[in-house]
Amino acid sequence: MASKRVVITGLGIVSPIGVGVGPSWANLLCGKSGVSKIRGSGYENLPCQIAAHVPDELKLSEKFSSSDIRKMSTSTLFALIAAEEAIQSSKLELDSLNRQRIGVTIGNGMCNIDDIYEQVKVFKDRGYNRFNPHFLTRMLINMPAGFVSIKFGLKGPNHCVSTACTTGLHALGDAYNFIQRGSADVMVAGGTEAVIGPASIAAFSRIRALSCNFNDEPSKASRPFDNLRDGFVMGEGAGLMVVEELNHALSRKAPILGEILGYGLSGDAFHITSPPDDGSGAYNCMKSALEDASINPNQIGHINCHATSTPQGDVAELEAIKKLFGPHANQIAITSTKGATGHLLGAAGSVEAIFTCLAANKGVIPPTINLNDPLNKDLNLIANKPVNWDNAASQNNRRIALTNSFGFGGTNGSLVIANYVN
C-alpha cells in the first residue's frame, strides 16, 4: 500500500504564554516568559516557588458550566478549548463529513495528585456519601480524548497516550500512523496537562528536577542550554492539531499549514529519570524519524529540542545532535521554546510540534529565552531573539524541521515537520 501523505490543517493551544495560537506564537517570538510566582496555598515550605500557569485571562467558569467543571479535570477543559480552536481553524464542516473517519488521540502525562488526595481525604473524613461521583471521569487518563470525541461527535479511532513528557508528541505520531495505515482520514491529536499543585511540586522537588534558584526572578528560571540552568519549571496547558490525509484535505479545500514527514521512537533502557550522557536514546529516535521520512540529515534546518533546562538532559540532547548530524549540526537553528513556556509535561511535545509547524510555515525560528551563557559555543543555538528561516537555505523551497520529546522511563519520540509543498 502506498504511503499516504499526512498534513496539518488545524492548530489549537492553551499555554502559559497565551490562550490561542495567535497570542502564544506572538508572545513566543517577542520573548515573553510565562513563568511567575506560584499561585495558591500549600507551597510555603517547598523549595520551588514558581510555575508556568495558564494566564489569568482564561476564566474556565465563564466557558464551562459548574456541572462540567465538577465532572471534568482541568486538563480535559484545556483540551476542549484547544480542540475547538483546532477544528475551527481547520474549517472542518463536521456535518458534511463521515465522522466515523475522524478520530481522536489525546493524552495526559499524569493525574492531578492533589485532586486524588482531596477525594481520599473526603472519603476518610466524611464518608462514602460525600465522595465525588465524578471522581473517575476526572482521573482517568483517556477522559480528555473521550470528552473531545463526544463534544464533536468524532467516531473514528478514540485513543489515549500516556508516556510522561513524550505524551503529546507520541499522540501526534500515533495519529500520523492511523492515517497512514488507513484507519482514519482525520485525527484531532495532541496532549494536555494541568497538574500544578503542592503534591506535584513536592514530588518533582524531591528528585531535584525543578528550578529553585530563581524564586525571586521567575521569568529567568527556565533557561535551556544556559550554564546557569538548575532545573525545569512546571507548566500547564494543551496543544492539539488536526492532522489529515492529503487528498482528503485537498478535496475539501482545507487550509494546509504543514506536513508530517516522519516519526521515530526509541527507548533509553538506561535510567528511569535520567538520559545516558551520550544521548544515545535521543540519537536513535531522531535517526528513526529521518529514516521514516526518507530524508537526509543535511535537509534539516531547524530543531525544536526537548531541552527542559536540566543540567544533564540539555547536554545529552546536544551530544546526540552533534553525533547524528556531524558537520551539518552547526548549520541547524536549534532552539528550546521551554525557555518561554516552562515544561508542560504531557502537553509539551504537542505544543512544541505546533511551534515547529509555525516556524516551517512562516519562515521564522523562535528563540530560546534566558540563553545568555550557552553551554555549547559551536552549535547554532538561537538565543533571545527570533531569526528568519531563509528559503535560500532550504531545499526545493522546503523548510524541514525536527522536534523532540523525551520522558521519564526512557521513552523518546521525534517528528519531522515541514511546510507544505504540493
pLDDT digits (tens, 9 = 90+) for 172-182: 999 999 999 99
Question: Do 235 and 304 share a domain, yes or no?
Answer: no
Q: Are residues 248 and 282 in the same domain?
A: no
Cell numbers standing for residue 131: 465522595
Residue 186 has φ and ψ, to the nearest 5°, of -140, 140
Confidence of residue 1 (pLDDT cuts 50, 70, 90): very low
User: Mean of the pLDDT values across residues 14-31?
Assistant: 98
Contact 102, 168 (CB under 8 A): no
1 in a structural domain: no
Residue 87's nearest CA partner among 227, 241, 224 is 241
- Per DSSP bridges, beta strands 400-407 and 411-418 are antiparallel
- Does the residue 197 lie in any domain? yes
Q: Is residue 257 part of a domain?
A: no
Quick: pLDDT tens for 343-370. 999 999 999 999 999 999 999 999 999 9
SS (H, E, C) 244-265: EEHHHHHHCCCCCCEEEEEEEE
CATH number at residue 83: 3.40.47.10
Same domain, yes or no: 239 and 273: no
165 carries an active-site annotation:
yes
pLDDT digits (tens, 9 = 90+) for 215-225: 999 999 999 99
Cα pseudo-dihedral 173, 179, 181, 182, rounded to 10: 160
- Same domain? For 271 and 239 the reply is no
Domain count for the chain, please give it. Answer: 2
**Of 217, 252, 287, which residue is a domain's last?**
252
Which domain does 165 fall in, by range? 6-252
316 is a domain residue: yes
Report the distance separating Cα 204 and Cα 194, nearest Å: 15
- What average pLDDT does this structure show over 399-404? 98
- Of 232, 252, 272, the position where a domain reaches its end is 252
DSSP calls for 124-161: HHH-GGGS-TTHHHHH-TTHHHHHHHHHHT--S-EE--
**What pLDDT does 397 receive?**
78
CB 102 within 8 A of CB 188: yes
Which of 165, 285, 305, 357 is flagged as catalytic?
165
Beta strands in 16-161 (DSSP E): 18-19, 36-37, 50-51, 102-107, 158-159
Exposure on the CB side of residue 26, measured as CA atoms within 13 A: 6
My answer on whether 45 and 13 are in the same domain is: yes
Whether residue 226 contacts residue 232, with contact meaning beta carbons closer than 8 Å, is answered with no
Please state, rounded to an integer, the average pLDDT across all residues of the chain: 96
Q: For 373-387, what is each residue's pLDDT tens digit?
A: 999 999 999 999 999
- Amino acid in the structure at residue 405: S
pLDDT of residue 85: 98
> Do 179 and 267 fall into the same domain?
no
Q: Residues 160-212: pLDDT tens digits?
A: 999 999 999 999 999 999 999 999 999 999 999 999 999 999 999 999 999 99
3-state SS class at 266: strand
Cell matching residue 242? 488536526
In terms of domains, do 41 and 154 share one?
Answer: yes
Residues 235 and 329 in one domain: no
Angle at 32 between CA 28 and CA 35, to 5 degrees: 110
- Does 223 lie in the same domain as 308? no
Residue ending a domain, choose from 201, 230, 252:
252
Say yes or no: 317 and 225 in one domain.
no
Place 303 in a pLDDT band, splitting at 50, 70 and 90: very high
pLDDT at residue 125 is higher than 60 = yes
CA 331, CA 387: separation in Å to the nearest integer? 13
Half-sphere exposure of 17 (CA within 13 A, CB side): 28
